[in-house]
């Protein structure tokens, strides 16, 4: 596999799949969080510094037509220029960039318009279909057109670099199919994907013990596969968030109006049994902060998690649990954290998630632990607590990270690495 570190881009044109799916301020239209742009800078700067030129391609949002000004990447040109420290060119149709790409000089950067203006990118046919058969036929036809789409993009460049970890779990034109049009020495991951893979592989394959996985968030069903894949690896499994109550109810506890997936009760018991058989210690919250309604101004009380009063719902972990979880986390040598401990978007129910964020930072700083945080909401929680630089690695890809940690093959990774 070609490595970007060893590659010399001098005189080459590189087409780079970046993830510039950035949020825009609804009033000003400006980029409100440029984390993803900053994430791609090392790769772009290396190409330029070597004397190559970069053709950047990305999606933004979920446009349904071509063009769709609301989702135009034109809106982020100035944010890219500001971060890159140089001006860039723009092509307002990603299928019509031949001339601009051919004219690019060393050190220059060209941004292509939103790839998803074309349905070929995702390979998902748009519009209404009279029947499933018709939809299937349209999808098959589109698969063929997707190859042409990817081939066209490939034709602009000598080299393909994939640095969009956030879409690596999608088999899209620009993330996977395009790789077929470059030979092995001329396709590679960018620095961002390399770093993501290094961090995840370290946790999956070289974890120092004790290894603690912290799983939070709303639903058991979203996290069950990752939990199952981790049971062979971890020493401690901490469960928090809304998921808690499916486990508590399965064990016969009173959960009031707390979130519960009734059809996952057996599954929850199975997980606990499997964990026990594998010698994994499971930590479930023992006490909770409850609310009388799902609201930022709700009235609150605290109770044991298995004695939630009728009419109340558990929305955060309480002090006893915070202490237990924090002790386990700060004594760990490897920590993986995915999903908040409570409804941290409401200040009244953010304490548990903040405490876990602090404990993860403490494990990193004071215990020399390797700590990986992934999944949109736990990343938001780490950022909210201003601890991003106090942990080992914060993943940029929610769904992609989750799937990789579940043990799945990601099409965007396989297209370059072969597995
Ligand atoms: P996920 O995307 O699965 O990681 O879930 C994150 C969401 O779970 C956040 O929006 C939280 O507000 C929500 N959440 C966390 N704890 C609870 C809880 N106890 N009850 C309901 N929702 C929760």
42-56 residue pLDDT tens:
999 999 999 999 999
Q: Is the pLDDT of residue 376 over 80?
A: no
The strand ranges marked E within 29-104 are: 53-57, 89-91
Q: Determine if ligand 1 sits within 6 Å of the CB of residue 345.
A: yes
Instruction: Specify the residue with its C-alpha closest to ligand 1, atom 4.
Output: 217
Say how far residue 64 (Cα) sits from the centre of its chain.
23
Domains 4-190 and 207-405 share a fold: yes
Class of domain 4-190: alpha beta
Gap between the Cα atoms of 211 and 329, Å rounded: 9
What is the mean predicted confidence (pLDDT) over 297-303?
98
Q: Determine if ligand 1 sits within 6 Å of the CB of residue 259.
A: yes
How far, in Å, from the CA of 18 to the mean position of ligand 1?
29
Residue 398, pLDDT score: 84
Gap between the Cα atoms of 8 and 240, Å rounded: 47
Q: Is the pLDDT of residue 304 over 70?
A: yes
Q: Which atom of ligand 1 is nearest to the CA of 316?
A: 19
CB 16 within 8 A of CB 192: no
Gap between the Cα atoms of 217 and 342, Å rounded: 7
Residue 397, pLDDT score: 85
> Which residues are annotated as catalytic?
36, 219, 376, 399
Q: Determine if ligand 1 sits within 6 Å of the CB of residue 280.
A: no
Count the residues in the chain: 419
What is the mean predicted confidence (pLDDT) over 1-20?
97
Mean pLDDT estimate for the chain? 96
Query: What residue segments make up the domains of the chain, in order of their start?
Result: 4-190, 207-405
The two beta strands, 281-283 and 236-239, are parallel
Question: Tell me: the pLDDT tens digits for 307-317?
Answer: 999 999 999 99
Question: Tell me: the pLDDT tens digits for 48-89?
Answer: 999 999 999 999 999 988 999 999 999 999 999 999 999 999
| CA-to-CA separations, 172 to 52, 178, 411, in angstroms, rounded | 26, 9, 8
Gap between the Cα atoms of 292 and 304, Å rounded: 16
> 377: how many CB neighbours lie within 10 A of its CB?
18
Q: Determine if ligand 1 sits within 6 Å of the CB of residue 242.
A: yes
Consecutive H or E run containing 17: strand 13-17
Q: Is the pLDDT of residue 326 over 90?
A: yes
CB 318 within 8 A of CB 196: no
pLDDT band for position 305 (50/70/90)? very high
How far, in Å, from the CA of 392 to the mean position of ligand 1?
24
What is the mean predicted confidence (pLDDT) over 5-23?
96
Q: Determine if ligand 1 sits within 6 Å of the CB of residue 219.
A: yes
**Poorest-pLDDT segment among 105-119, 295-309, 353-367, 376-390:** 376-390
Domain 207-405 listed as CATH 3.40.50.1260: yes
> Three-class SS string for 257-271?
CCCCCHHHHHHHHHH
Q: Is the pLDDT of residue 303 over 80?
A: yes
Residue 56, pLDDT score: 98
Closest CA to 66 of 98, 92, 99: 92
Say how far residue 193 (Cα) sits from the centre of its chain.
12
Highest mean pLDDT among 109-113, 128-132, 133-137: 109-113
Closest CA to 316 of 357, 355, 350, 282: 350
The token duo for 330 is: 């700060």
Instruction: Specify the residue with its C-alpha closest to ligand 1, atom 2.
Output: 217
Q: Is the pLDDT of residue 192 over 80?
A: yes
The token duo for 299 is: 């009235």
Question: Tell me: the pLDDT tens digits for 231-280?
Answer: 999 999 999 999 999 999 999 999 999 999 999 999 999 999 999 999 99
Question: What residues contact 351, with CB distance under 8 A and at least 6 apart?
Answer: 289, 316, 322, 342
Question: Tell me: the pLDDT tens digits for 139-152?
Answer: 999 999 999 999 99
pLDDT band for position 379 (50/70/90)? confident
């Amino acid at each position: 596999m070609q490595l970007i570190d060893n590659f010399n881009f001098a005189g080459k044109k590189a087409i780079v799949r970046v993830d510039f799916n950035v949020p825009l301020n609804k009033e000003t239209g400006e980029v409100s969080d440029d984390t993803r742009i900053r994430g791609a800078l090392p790769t772009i700067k290396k190409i330029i510094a070597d004397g190559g030129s970069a053709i950047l391609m990305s999606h933004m949002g979920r446009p349904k037509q071509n063009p769709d000004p609301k989702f135009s990447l034109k809106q982020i040109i100035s944010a890219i220029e500001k971060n890159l420290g140089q001006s860039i060119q723009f092509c307002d149709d990603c299928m019509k960039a031949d001339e601009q790409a051919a004219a690019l000089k060393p050190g220059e950067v060209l941004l292509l318009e939103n790839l998803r203006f074309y349905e070929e990118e995702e390979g998902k046919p748009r519009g209404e279909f009279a029947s499933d058969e018709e939809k299937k036929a349209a999808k098959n036809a589109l698969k063929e057109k997707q190859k042409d789409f990817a081939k066209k993009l490939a034709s602009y460049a000598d080299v393909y670099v994939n640095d969009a970890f956030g879409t690596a779990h999608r088999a899209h034109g620009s993330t996977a199919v395009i790789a077929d049009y470059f030979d092995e020495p001329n396709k590679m991951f960018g620095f961002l994907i390399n770093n993501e893979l290094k961090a995840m592989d370290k946790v999956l394959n070289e974890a120092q013990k004790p290894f603690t996985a912290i799983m939070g968030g709303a639903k058991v069903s979203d996290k069950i596969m990752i939990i199952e894949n981790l049971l062979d690896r971890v020493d401690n499994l901490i469960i928090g968030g809304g998921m808690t109550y499916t486990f508590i109810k399965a064990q016969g506890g009173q959960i009031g109006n707390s979130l519960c997936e009734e059809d996952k009760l057996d599954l929850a018991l199975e997980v606990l049994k499997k964990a026990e058989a594998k010698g994994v210690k499971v930590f479930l919250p023992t006490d909770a902060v409850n609310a009388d309604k799902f609201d930022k101004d709700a009235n609150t009380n605290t109770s044991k998690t298995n004695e939630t009063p009728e009419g109340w719902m558990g929305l955060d972990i309480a002090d006893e649990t915070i202490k237990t979880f924090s002790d386990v986390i700060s004594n760990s040598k490897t920590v993986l954290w995915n999903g908040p401990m409570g409804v941290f978007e409401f200040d009244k129910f953010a304490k548990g998630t903040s405490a876990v964020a602090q404990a993860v930072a403490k494990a990193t700083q004071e215990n020399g632990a390797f700590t990986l945080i992934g999944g949109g909401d736990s990343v938001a929680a780490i950022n909210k607590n201003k601890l991003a630089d106090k942990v080992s690695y914060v993943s940029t890809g929610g769904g992609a990270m989750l799937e990789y940690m579940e043990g799945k093959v990601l099409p965007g990774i396989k297209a370059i690495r072969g597995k």
